[in-house]
Structure 1
């Protein structure tokens, strides 16, 4: 029997996490795009805001800066100096207690030596370097000062070194000094462009326990050490001049060996020369009450640098920025596991939008919505319209597809087909497919299905003319207009595929556009409502389909204020010129002669517009509908379906 082992979750993507909600993300992208944003900026805004249950980049950035402020607000950098002062006072007090009962001149001379010590901590520690301690406690406290300084100086540059020096024997200290000497020799050879592969391997074999980063070559070793050394330098830059001077003097007493400070200075010089791009010059302002030692201070400076890097990655403001650039391990280390989960979800969302074919590169290098994305947006818009129609008591009939008289033939089923199945051919397809695969139990698959082919009883040539003048943007009608076009386009493309739809926009001029261009159309400051030009284009569309029933739908919020001249220029005037109105009405009459019914969807309460569209309805045999912005889509789709039912 198979055996299974279960263990603790070890990181990586959560296999139980819900997948990215692409439909909700696409709806958000579509809304931004229809309001005039480019797909690139819409995606950036989506990632900045985040999704329900997932923090966006703005929130993660806020937490990064909050964490950075906490480090500086809670801590100070003189922890090592304070600890040295405490140990020094402890040593002096123990020595004085030991000397006080002794009546000898030597005891009095020693007391005078102690009383004459300079007031500065570093100077006093240096003065006591050759002092012969009478008190064992005093001698031990002074030795602790030397060990503390050595541990802190090494911790600044080698992570975990302070812990390694706890309870260290003289042999351990000698091994560390040997490691520093070997390290400087290795770096000198590397700086001279020598091949250090074998020397590096030997160095790591002897001293690898001091390098938890586990570098694989000399360059990686230099990278790790330079980042730590630069953080130590930035910490010194952040201290006062007096504190830096005291530390410089105290380092000579580290581990009781002045050569240690010299080796560390040489190491810093090597690293600074090999990695000049590190930040060696900046500083920070620490104003808290919690004192940090040299090692802790260097780690705090490293944390600040890491947080600065995360802030840059989360800003995504550099060329070619991708969410995969975010260092998840650093983010988790600084902000916790939840922030790492949020960043992974955002990266997955961006990746899935691209991999699922919803976004693609445009010729100009930017992003654009793919036809697949536009179909999904159309499905959403149509679903909302259908919900509104049902709320008004209308219903979507199953017979509203491309139904007609059966031709006796069948065809493979496609999405949107509502014709009945051709059962015998469907079963035959399933049997043949199963037999070709080696036999077995017959199961129906989607590709087996065939439906009865029918002849269309009536088809329509539909021209949807939408006003794109600035007032549509200004009065909040821009997005409802685009959603209306999306819904109608989706309905005709999926359920009335024999109908021919033309999308026409009109401002100062009119033009035909596809659904992608209309969706991404940006509002521009342009005066002029050239309905005359739009009806001209609608007439051309109707004439290209002489066998179809012409239907013209006009969405506008203003009376005609522009018309097209014979040379192709547009003449604008407000109030409208009689010539503009006459040319527009002439096109209405021309469409009426072609049998077109014109329905005008009037937005707003302009009395001049109401008077004009009533005239259009009377002369064109159409009607006027005055929906609000939220009901525009339902009004247009509902009128299209009503006209189609009347044709049948």
Structure 2
């Protein structure tokens, strides 16, 4: 255990100062997510908001943005990198993931998320109250001793107690499963077109889903792929810094990379979650990027549908979360869903997290043969 000591500062000794810090910290994290982890930009926005809405004037004690910045440094949320630039720390990255997770769970209906058990009985981790007859191979640690004794007494006498194999009774257990998920995030230019920020909700969902899996389902796996003109993998630590680029939408390569990742996973259940707001508009052909942003190019669309069929044959389900209401583009999503026998949701930005989390939970409730 490591201890870090600081010179006493009076403001840390007052409870209401903690409330001031928490208020600014929650707002600052929101701004950090929109600013893709840029501390300077987030602080400039925070300063502008304070000037316009007098946020710090609402606190009972004297607490300025300068005090807040000092607290961020002292508490290990920001630091200077090798180039003397102020950046967020791993602690802040984890806090952003946790905040996103809490935000999404808060919006889910009570009871909408369970403890991720399958509806089947068998070998598992949690004992059920129901019992059944013992069969060879059952875990002897799950034997119902009381039920077994009662079964034996039904055919025994006072002089002779005889335990027979068919007297043995065992408790059923819930059958837990594991899932390998690839999350595909569209970072093409359309994700910020028309004054609507679509990438920030997508980042929040990715951060929340990764935090959920790492903290509650360690045996599951989550890989994250972003796609624009091409597709590439990113790590969980990269999520706060994710930005939209001047890209077209190479859905084909995104799905190909996801399928290749899942081919290496030894999981019973494999799935692709794709967050997108646009149509496929690019693909590589003979080593060159072929692109067409006007309408649905059938050459590109047909290649994407072929990839969806390949995923279906490898028992990889594609669930598309379409964050646009364009009927023209929804037609493409219906074709993709039919080819893969997958699922599609036409989700608004504020519903995106709930849809993805509930679908993830449902997909874990599958029998493992």
TM-score, normalized by the shorter chain, greater than 0.5 = yes
Secondary structure of the structure 2 residue equivalent to 1:463: strand
Identify unmatched segments of 5+ residues in structure 2: 1-8, 127-172
Q: CA deviation at 1:566?
A: 4.7
Task: Give the aligned partner of residue 534 of structure 1.
Answer: 254
Bigger Cα Rg: 1
Q: CA deviation at 1:399?
A: 5.2
Q: 1:373 to 1:577 in 2, by over 3 A?
A: same
> Would the aligned equivalents of 1:26 and 1:377 in 2 still touch at CA under 8 Å?
no
Q: 1:644 to 1:12 in 2, by over 3 A?
A: closer
**Superimposed CA distance per residue, residues 607-646 of structure 1 (whole angstroms, 9 cap, x where no aligned partner):** 2311111111111121111111110111111111111123
When the two structures are aligned, how many residues end up with a matched partner? Answer: 304
In the alignment, which of 230, 235, 238 is matched to residue 517 of structure 1?
238
Q: How far apart, in 2, do the equivalents of 1:483 and 1:556 lie?
A: 14
Q: CA deviation at 1:505?
A: 1.1
Q: 1:630 to 1:406 in 2, by over 3 A?
A: closer
Task: Give the aligned partner of residue 182 of structure 2.
Answer: 463
Q: Normalized against structure 1, the TM-score is what? A: 0.43
Q: CA RMSD in A?
A: 3.2
> Would the aligned equivalents of 1:26 and 1:373 in 2 still touch at CA under 8 Å?
no
Structural mapping, 1:564-575, within 5 Å: 564-567=284-287, 569-574=288-293, 575=295
Task: Give the aligned partner of residue 395 of structure 1.
Answer: 112
Identify unmatched segments of 5+ residues in structure 1: 1-10, 57-337, 408-453
Task: Give the aligned partner of residue 354 of structure 2.
Answer: 634
Q: CA deviation at 1:508?
A: 1.8
Larger proportion of helix: 1
In the alignment, which of 17, 28, 34 is matched to residue 19 of structure 1?
17
Secondary structure of the structure 2 residue equivalent to 1:18: helix
Q: How far apart, in 2, do the equivalents of 1:385 and 1:622 lie?
A: 24
In the alignment, which of 473, 480, 484 is matched to residue 192 of structure 2?
473
Q: How far apart, in 2, do the equivalents of 1:455 and 1:52 lie?
A: 54
Q: CA deviation at 1:455?
A: 12
Q: 1:514 to 1:455 in 2, by over 3 A?
A: farther
Q: How far apart, in 2, do the equivalents of 1:458 and 1:631 lie?
A: 26
Mapped pair 1:618 → 2:338 = yes
Q: CA deviation at 1:592?
A: 1.2
Q: How far apart, in 1, do the equivalents of 2:257 and 2:82 lie?
A: 28
**Superimposed CA distance per residue, residues 447-478 of structure 1 (whole angstroms, 9 cap, x where no aligned partner):** xxxxxxx9994222101111111221123312
Secondary structure of the structure 2 residue equivalent to 1:605: coil
Instruction: Indicate the structure whose relative CO is greater, using CA pairs within 8 Å and at least 6 residues apart.
Output: 2
Q: CA deviation at 1:364?
A: 4.3
In the alignment, which of 505, 515, 519 is matched to residue 226 of structure 2?
505
**Superimposed CA distance per residue, residues 294-347 of structure 1 (whole angstroms, 9 cap, x where no aligned partner):** xxxxxxxxxxxxxxxxxxxxxxxxxxxxxxxxxxxxxxxxxxxx999233xx33
Q: How far apart, in 1, do the equivalents of 2:348 and 2:199 lie?
A: 13
Mean Cα displacement is larger for which, 573-582 or 538-547? 573-582
Secondary structure of the structure 1 residue equivalent to 2:274: strand
In the alignment, which of 191, 197, 208 is matched to residue 487 of structure 1?
208
Q: 1:355 to 1:628 in 2, by over 3 A?
A: same
Q: CA deviation at 1:52?
A: 7.6
Q: 1:484 to 1:23 in 2, by over 3 A?
A: farther
Mapped pair 1:587 → 2:292 = no
Secondary structure of the structure 2 residue equivalent to 1:494: helix
